[in-house]
Structure 1
Amino acid sequence: MEVVDIQSIERSICSPASGIWETCTPTTSPCRSTSRGQVTYKMWPAENRYSDEYNIVRHALATWNLVQAYQIDPRPEFIEGARRALDFTLSFRKDEENRSFIAHENNVKLGSVVIAMMGMIDLARATGTKEYDELLNRFGEFTVFMQEPSGRFDPYYVEADHPYAEEVNDIVPGEAALALVMLYEYTGDKKWLAPLPKFFEYYKPWWQERVSKIRPEAPSPHETYDTNDRLELVQFGPWSVMAANAYHRVTGDPEVAKFGLEVARWMVETYEYTGEDSPWPDYVGGYYKLPGELPAMQAFCYGEGTAAAYALALRADPSQAPFFEKATRETVRFGLMMQFDDLQIYPFTRGDEVRGGTRYTMNETKVRIDYVYHAQSTLVQYRDAALTDPNLPPEVKRSPLRDELEAAQKKAAEAAAAAAAGTSPPTSPSETPPVIPGTGLPPKAP
């Protein structure tokens, strides 16, 4: 656990972002798409094989990932990559009345809209652009349109005879709720908060009904719940906690905070391999999924939720913060272990393609774009909460990498100012050119 500190987290966050940026760049390589902004979706590096599948919802996560990395290390290429990935998403935009959505491969998924919204909002904040404001409003209108009077969100906007017409998706409701809160924070328009009370009114009893079906006498964890109940609960949980955290941040609603912390605690106590109960040290921070599968990237789906709960507890119930800090830090440890670094990629023919990526399980090398997103989101949220935690020691919060980045940025700014003035910045005879830590590349002037 001593490897988990802010510096290691920041390095980890920026590493996959570099890979996403590269896959957003048009190339003639046979393993990359030549469509501007499309990313490498899935790869098996041990087999030197790529997938011909694509998923527009998971693609949309790339914009958000790159902006998150930019907020730590403001490289212009991260913003350029975020824009390219977003351009690809928006190439499937369709307008209808006062709303817009993403229509891809004969399907309209609410998930593609709300994930795109979250990336657009943070991209707009990072750059100060207003170019997406009108579309954000139209995406918001579509999201509200997809909420039923009960408070439930319909995940697919399709005809009654479409194969997805009756499909259930328990991930999307929390995504939609979070996106609406973020849209309120960005615009200040309270109409985007209006659907949220109905959301919690519907999903609180929905959650309680399913979580009460626990089988306490059954072998744990693989038979604690019926498979269908388990899937519904674990798919709904993480994003709903993120939504609860965001909603409490803007409203202070104590009941929503209580619900979010309850859901997150259930995830940890039911399925996490903690330092106290893990059968093997390498499992610590991972989560149970299937009897025949080692801990996998799903740990980071849970981790997003527990990281949000950590921030929520610091604000709403500090007595619970140490519990969620430890649970999330263990998952961060697992995430650092599951990330491909230079030592892990040496056997692969195209190891550079997956450097910084997150593999599927402890014993499978497959990488997919959403594995990277969930791992990075866990790290980003934990980092942000940890920096505000008064109980963490200074050595955990300290980041020499941050000092290096800020020094490199300052030097680049001085050089740019000197160039504009026609002078040279002062240098030492022994001074070496500055580089961006972890890349070997010189920083670009702003």
Structure 2
Amino acid sequence: MERAAKKTGFTITIVVTIIIVLFIVIFVIDWLPDRKVMPANDIREFIEVAHVEQVDSLTLTRAINLAGSYLSDIMLDNGQFVYRINLDTTVTVKPGYNILRHAGAIYALCMYHDLTGDTLAFETAQKAGKFLTKATIKPVGGKQDLLGVWSLPGILRDKSPPELKLGGTDLGLVALCSLKKLDPGVVSLDTLKKMGNFILYMQKRDGSFYSKFYPYKNGRDDSWTSLYYPGEASLGLLMLYELDPQKKWLEAASKGIDYLDRIRRGREAIEADHWALMASELLLRNFDMKENSEEKEKIINHAMIVCRSMIHAKADFSKISDFHGCLTPDGRTTPTSTRLEGLLSALTYIPLNDTAAIEFILATINDGTEFLLHAQLKDGPHAGAITRGFIPASELASGVFIYGDKRVPEIRIDYIQHALSAWIQYYNLFYAASSRPSLPSQK
């Protein structure tokens, strides 16, 4: 009897304890701040529900206008840009030019004109596009149906023999497709299709690509490989597909992204491939996903792998540091810009039901955007430019630079182009009207 009574008392104690614990849990949950259940219908609704603090729109628009104006201001009479300068007058700037970055500048100027209607940006993009087509686009290996963007010693200002980098034609196609949407007469569709044919000619059966073509050797060459070229190629082909909806462009782009998915699956650290993220946005927009739901899932999963790798590898600067928001430990600006381009594209198609992941991506984007805004030159003859690395205001004012790396005060067209492209993507995604972006221009 005594043992039974003890057992009964013990059982009652356990039951009472469970009831008390449940009451406490319910009470605490009831007093937690209200939070709506995800997913939201779109990223803007997500931000509103999650109370994510965004970059100030006026600060952003000023930066966009300054950068867009600066790119136009450094256009030369022959259609090239002032490629590189250094704010440190004690540094000798080596001559050189990169036609891939020239194409990237055209792409950014087209984005800027599309956003603002800026006439000077449009005229600058036209002029740069004409230089690209007349000076660099030529037949490949005697094949008249193939056109490529050649790296030529007279343009590069070095003694290297002529060669074709796949990336040059990739980004040349991106630039000229962007320009043709604004000015149909600037380049013929036939030229763009022949550039697309060259990219297809450089693609292997597994979806990968030869990176270079040497006219004086054996033609296609893969002794050096860039894992960024497949993403660039896919983006160019998809932009061509929107102008010329032939299935071969879409299928080749899909093969390129599928190749990247296969070689990256299961890896922890992968390339910060913003081009692939941007290409995936267009691929998902143009692919018939009703009949290819598994393909859609693969594309999105690959994008999530790239995004996670970017975020896991990002630098961790304190909030009081001038470098807070920079995504690489070296304090450079452009790696942050390119990662933002990719992450912003990914936000247009990755599922919003993974609340923690989306919030982390948004925080990374906002911090990175603030870092770039902080790094932009605000006044003086180079207002609107972006230097290779962040420079404190005291050094900018004195002109005395204390960093050991003399390239930190360097200004190059791609530093500006990538920051401008990222800022415009940010504005379009979070602030622009759903019908057509609108932003008052300074011009």
TM over 0.5: yes
The reply to whether residue 310 of structure 1 matches residue 367 of structure 2 is no
- Residue in structure 1 matching 2:242, options 181, 185, 188: 185
Sort the Cα spacing of 1:323 and 1:389 in 2 relative to 1 into closer, same or farther, 3 A: farther
Aligned residues: 351
User: CA offsets per residue over residues 227-279 of structure 1, 9 Å max, x none?
Assistant: xxxxxx335x2111111222112224232022112211221122244xxx647
Sort the Cα spacing of 1:279 and 1:194 in 2 relative to 1 into closer, same or farther, 3 A: same
Structure-1 residue corresponding to 2:369: 332
Letter in 2 for 1:356: G
The reply to whether residue 98 of structure 1 matches residue 131 of structure 2 is no
CA contact (8 A) 1:147 1:153 kept: yes
Q: Distance in 2 between matches of 1:69 and 1:279?
A: 31
Structure-1 residue corresponding to 2:208: 152
CA contact (8 A) 1:358 1:372 kept: yes
CA contact (8 A) 1:10 1:72 kept: no
Q: CA deviation at 1:190?
A: 2.3
User: CA offsets per residue over residues 99-122 of structure 1, 9 Å max, x none?
Assistant: 101122211111111111112122
CA contact (8 A) 1:41 1:51 kept: no
Structure-2 residue corresponding to 1:12: 63
In the TM superposition, 1:383-394 aligns within 5 A as: 383-387=427-431
RMSD across aligned C-alpha pairs, in angstroms? 2.8
What percent identity do the matched residue pairs reach?
22
Structure (1 or 2) with the larger CA radius of gyration? 2
Letter in 2 for 1:89: L
Q: Distance in 2 between matches of 1:11 and 1:134?
A: 39
Q: Distance in 2 between matches of 1:195 and 1:78?
A: 32
TM-score by length of 1: 0.72
Q: Distance in 1 between matches of 2:195 and 2:83?
A: 24
Q: CA deviation at 1:130?
A: 7.0
Structure-2 residue corresponding to 1:381: 425
CA contact (8 A) 1:245 1:257 kept: no
Structure-2 residue corresponding to 1:288: 328
CA contact (8 A) 2:377 2:385 kept: yes
In the TM superposition, 1:347-366 aligns within 5 A as: 352=381, 354-363=382-391, 364-366=408-410
In structure 1, stretches of 5+ residues that fail to align are 27-35, 215-232, 346-351, 391-398, 406-435, 438-442
Q: CA deviation at 1:164?
A: 7.3
User: CA offsets per residue over residues 274-324 of structure 1, 9 Å max, x none?
Assistant: xxx6474322221124xxx3344211121111111122236x767454433
Q: Give the SS at the match of 2:326.
A: coil
CA contact (8 A) 1:38 1:59 kept: yes
Structure-2 residue corresponding to 1:368: 412
Letter in 2 for 1:245: E
Q: CA deviation at 1:370?
A: 1.0
Q: Give the SS at the match of 1:108.
A: strand
In the TM superposition, 1:229-268 aligns within 5 A as: 233-235=270-272, 237-251=273-287, 252=289, 253-268=296-311
CA contact (8 A) 1:307 1:381 kept: yes
- Residue in structure 2 matching 1:46, options 88, 92, 110: 88
Q: CA deviation at 1:80?
A: 1.1
CA contact (8 A) 1:114 1:176 kept: yes
Q: Give the SS at the match of 1:43.
A: strand
- Structure with the bigger RCO (C-alpha within 8 Å, sep 6+) is 2
User: CA offsets per residue over residues 39-71 of structure 1, 9 Å max, x none?
Assistant: 111110122754311111111112112111111
Q: Give the SS at the match of 2:347.
A: helix
Moved more, 133-142 or 279-288: 279-288
User: CA offsets per residue over residues 307-352 of structure 1, 9 Å max, x none?
Assistant: 11122236x767454433322121111111111111xx4xxxxxx1
The reply to whether residue 196 of structure 1 matches residue 253 of structure 2 is yes
CA contact (8 A) 2:107 2:175 kept: yes
In structure 2, stretches of 5+ residues that fail to align are 1-51, 153-161, 290-295, 392-407
Q: Distance in 2 between matches of 1:317 and 1:383?
A: 23
CA contact (8 A) 2:83 2:97 kept: yes
Q: Distance in 1 between matches of 2:306 and 2:184?
A: 35
Q: Which runs of 4+ in 1 moved over 6 A?
A: 161-164
